[in-house]
Amino acid sequence: MNSIILTPKKITRLLFGEQVKWTMWFLSFMFVIYIVVVSLVSGPHSSFVDLASFSNGSSAIYMLVIGILTTTVFFPYYMQQGATRKNFFLGTMLASALLAITITVIIILLSFILQFAAGWAGWNIHTQEVDFTSSFSAFIYTFISFVISHLIYFLIGWVIGLTFYRAGWLYGMLSIAFGIICLGITGILLEITHISFFTQQINLPIFVSVPLSLVLIVILFVINHRLIKDVTVKI
């Protein structure tokens, strides 16, 4: 391989393909665990949360870890293969968006299937995150919120990984604090995140929360671009 072959499109395809393999393993284990748990605790007189609610926290943390590994695992490898920093950044940017969409689609699809199978299996699943009987607009908002949330977690992990790689432990610890702040801001904007600066949920209208979340995503992309554009590659 060389820098001519490793175009952003090529890196996107290779990186996304590898990340999807990891994601399928992760989702498979999570799905099996959910089936076992819901089979044990759900019944006529008790209920259990839907798969989307059950997996939201673990899938977000998974995206955070993937973001960190993007620097520690994939960045040195592709640099050694002759990729440019710019091409790697663009490829990772596209792959991260595709991964956030893919993991959201799979989780919601599995939740959809399980809600229909619940009656046959005798499970009492309590819908919290994804209500397929509600309005279409509510479903679209949930889908968009999941994608945005997963992408933000990935980008925060990418910032943390790049900061540790570029500047060492001191600034790396500061990047973790920065990530917590970003997650707190996301908790204000979206209802499905796990860190909030307030004890009560602030319900912002969709025409406010979604654009502001997209602004945060752009800011995180800009930060990652600044961190990676002249970083010294450690061989």
For 171-209, the pLDDT digits (tens) are 999 999 999 999 988 888 886 655 555 545 667 778 888
Q: Which of 22-26, 59-63, 131-135, 169-173 shows the lowest per-residue confidence on average (mean pLDDT)?
A: 131-135
Task: Return d(Cα 184, Cα 196) in angstroms, integer.
Answer: 5
pLDDT at 142 over 70: yes
- pLDDT value for 193: 54
* Predicted confidence (pLDDT) per residue in 90-129, tens digit: 999 999 999 999 999 999 888 888 777 766 666 656 555 4
CA 165, CA 185: separation in Å to the nearest integer? 25
- Select, from the ranges 44-48, 145-149, 204-208, 214-218, the one with the highest average predicted confidence (pLDDT): 214-218
**pLDDT score, position 112:** 80
Considering the chain, what percentage of its residues have pLDDT values greater than 70?
81
Q: For residues 42 and 152, give the distance between their C-alpha atoms in angstroms, rounded to a whole number.
A: 33
pLDDT over 70 (residue 139): yes
Q: Could you tell me the pTM of the whole model?
A: 0.88
d(CA 204, CA 224): 28
The H or E element containing residue 112 is helix 85-121
Do 42 and 124 form a contact (C-beta atoms < 8 A)?
A: yes
Nearest to 66 by CA among 18, 14, 7: 18
161: tokens are: 């990984």
Look up tokens 């933000």; give the residue.
152
Which comes out higher in pLDDT, residue 108 or 21?
Answer: 21
